[in-house]
Structure 1
């Protein structure tokens, strides 16, 4: 496993970068968004705030993902925070909840993009009035369920305690007294080597894999429909509507790029850990790497939006080049 100090430093660095970049993106959305984006601005601000909250929790709890045979655990280091074990454990559950809500947020954004392109006004209006609260609350509710499952099924219990402690001792480089851990074991092996399944762990893994699968299918389905509709619209667009099509196209491709980042850095490693537990496979030293990729996600995720949407990109280029131009003119004088 990677050094725990190195992992903690990386998590702190990426948390700072995530807060700064998402704050910059929120500023750009508020001040520089094209009017044609409509209520989509609020969805972009929503996910930026969500990513800031996630990155702050991540920097406090400094989670490291461990996989050892059929055991998986989230290790939270007490030495990196002044919080009590109980508070740290609750924050760990909230971290899990944020983790579970992200892909659902992106799924909602793809639904919105499809509704805009197809002009399905009846449903689209739900993003413009008081019903918007239901779109906002649904990922939070899902994240709460995800975090509650972590609180119930990843807590210490007599059935899985020995397996988890054995896995921790063989994988982490800090004493167990310095960590809080939340974990579960899928199989129990008796003295004869026979396996029995812990049903609670199986229920939790099944729920989380189901949520991820449904979110991915929803994203793929609505992204495909949106792309097809955009191609149809582009063939019959008038000169007046081309500007709107261009902005909607930029928002769509920015969303695709933005959605790929958590898939690669968060959900793919998480799925690998879950499947490794199912097949009783030891991932060895990969836990520290996944902890870094989880922290990296909210720092990288704002970049596609900032760079692909022309209004945002132009503002950033202006901010970077203006001081250079001033310095150059001063030297010439």
Structure 2
């Protein structure tokens, strides 16, 4: 995914992967639709958190009778994104987008036939406005803005509730827990805004001004790929109920690894007459085989 001049594109090397261009284009459109699913899934998560903090019985809307509706909303968001690409962004031979990209490939000495692509171009080579791509851009922005407003409003209202709880906590334990949740809430509001909405919004907007921002081109795909890993980190880091068990688990594996390493060094430093005794008292059959292999190598 990258910008070039007044256009933005997603390409895939079909020759290297050995797949038909039509199949590659379809899966690229599905991948783009997943972005719509992602942002509306995040928005619903914020709504759920707000209902939980509000404590006015609205969590009943997330029970089984209404649950299907909440799953449908992200699917609709993803389908809307997919349909926008299908309607407003052509990828066939002879289209403005294809010819624009072909010129770029020719300048780079690449064979255009080896790649499949989708994308939009805001201005043609004679600087006339491509209203088709402009309309698609408007749809993208509208889809993103709706999800963005839901996240900001739900996040702001949740922040107000947590702030009041901090002022009127019933105990030190309650106050400490609410502070942890407050920090996690702030972080989890900032992360999707800075890693999803701003980068993709900039990606779709800067071609309007014929700006090539190569740094963004390099990182935006990685941002989208690693976002699911980054998103839960604030909860794990700020909230004791998650952080302490995770640290304990990591320490357990660390100590286990160090113990095995210590035993290996301890056995290697023993004279030959006591190694068999150490094997019998402390080691499994597999470890005996491993240690015996190490000693035989040392002898030779």
TM-score category by the smaller chain? 0.7 to 0.9
Q: Does 1:271 align with 2:201?
A: yes
Alpha-carbon separation, structure 2, partners of 1:74 and 1:149: 15
User: Aligned to 1:74, which of 7, 10, 15?
Assistant: 10
Contact 2:162 2:182 in 1 (8 A): no
Alpha-carbon separation, structure 1, partners of 2:206 and 2:146: 21
Once the 2 structures are TM-superposed, how far is the Cα of residue 205 of structure 1 from its aligned partner?
0.4
Matches for 1:309-328 after TM superposition, within 5 Å? 309-326=239-256
Contact 1:90 1:151 in 2 (8 A): no
Map of 1:29 onto structure 2: none
Aligned residue for 2:90, secondary structure, equals coil
Contact 1:118 1:229 in 2 (8 A): yes
Once the 2 structures are TM-superposed, how far is the Cα of residue 325 of structure 1 from its aligned partner?
3.3
User: Aligned to 1:297, which of 227, 233, 239?
Assistant: 227
Q: 1:321 to 1:283 in 2, by over 3 A?
A: closer
Once the 2 structures are TM-superposed, how far is the Cα of residue 92 of structure 1 from its aligned partner?
0.5
Alpha-carbon separation, structure 1, partners of 2:193 and 2:16: 28
**Length-normalised TM-score, structure 1:** 0.68
Once the 2 structures are TM-superposed, how far is the Cα of residue 174 of structure 1 from its aligned partner?
4.5
Q: Does 1:196 align with 2:128?
A: yes
Deviations 1:95-135 (A, max 9, x none): 111112322222211112211222131x3211122201111
Map of 1:143 onto structure 2: 78
Once the 2 structures are TM-superposed, how far is the Cα of residue 140 of structure 1 from its aligned partner?
1.1
User: Aligned to 2:44, which of 90, 105, 108?
Assistant: 108
Q: How many residues align?
A: 261
Contact 1:186 1:197 in 2 (8 A): yes
Map of 2:103 onto structure 1: 166
Map of 2:168 onto structure 1: 236
Once the 2 structures are TM-superposed, how far is the Cα of residue 86 of structure 1 from its aligned partner?
1.8
Deviations 1:147-173 (A, max 9, x none): 121233333243413223223444x67
Map of 1:15 onto structure 2: none
Alpha-carbon separation, structure 2, partners of 1:302 and 1:187: 40
Once the 2 structures are TM-superposed, how far is the Cα of residue 93 of structure 1 from its aligned partner?
0.7
Map of 2:62 onto structure 1: 127
Alpha-carbon separation, structure 2, partners of 1:174 and 1:246: 59
Q: 1:165 to 1:128 in 2, by over 3 A?
A: same
Alpha-carbon separation, structure 1, partners of 2:191 and 2:109: 29
The gaps in structure 2 that reach 5 residues or longer are: 267-300
Once the 2 structures are TM-superposed, how far is the Cα of residue 286 of structure 1 from its aligned partner?
4.3
Aligned residue for 1:156, secondary structure, equals coil
Q: 1:189 to 1:174 in 2, by over 3 A?
A: closer
Q: 1:306 to 1:201 in 2, by over 3 A?
A: same
Once the 2 structures are TM-superposed, how far is the Cα of residue 76 of structure 1 from its aligned partner?
1.6
Question: Which is bigger in relative contact order (C-alpha 8 A, separation at least 6)?
Answer: 1
Alpha-carbon separation, structure 2, partners of 1:150 and 1:250: 41
Aligned residue for 1:131, secondary structure, equals helix
**Length-normalised TM-score, structure 2:** 0.75
Contact 1:265 1:296 in 2 (8 A): no
Alpha-carbon separation, structure 2, partners of 1:272 and 1:212: 12
Contact 2:81 2:140 in 1 (8 A): yes
